[in-house]
Structure 1
């Protein structure tokens, strides 16, 4: 089991997903983070609810458009500003 707090784990996941051009599978994230598949899927759902541009390919491969996530215009559009 992972020793990081949930917030640290999620930050690490976001950083890793942003660095991987082709994304990562749920299994890869489970192996890397040392937590259950259920925890990884719950974290991914949290990212999507928070508005991160996370793409789900066939339910197992996830890619994040981190450059888009850093763009202030992206977040303004999400807030309706």
Structure 2
């Protein structure tokens, strides 16, 4: 899906003459931020059961049950420098 304003199902950065100037930068930095979070932390489900992915009906599809995860840093805090 094109997020730069040509497909009108999703227009996060506007379109036309008033499109966001930082949209290209934001899309590139989002990949870096997501990769840093995934690399820096371990994610575990609170219990050992399967994650319920059923959706509620309506204008916007939401999960019927919230996703609860346990997040822990992969390394010791002093390694990150800014956390200590």
Report the structure, 1 or 2, having the larger helix content. Answer: 1
TM over 0.5: no
TM-score (norm 1): 0.28
Q: Which entry has the higher C-alpha Rg, 1 or 2? A: 2
Structure with the bigger RCO (C-alpha within 8 Å, sep 6+) is 1
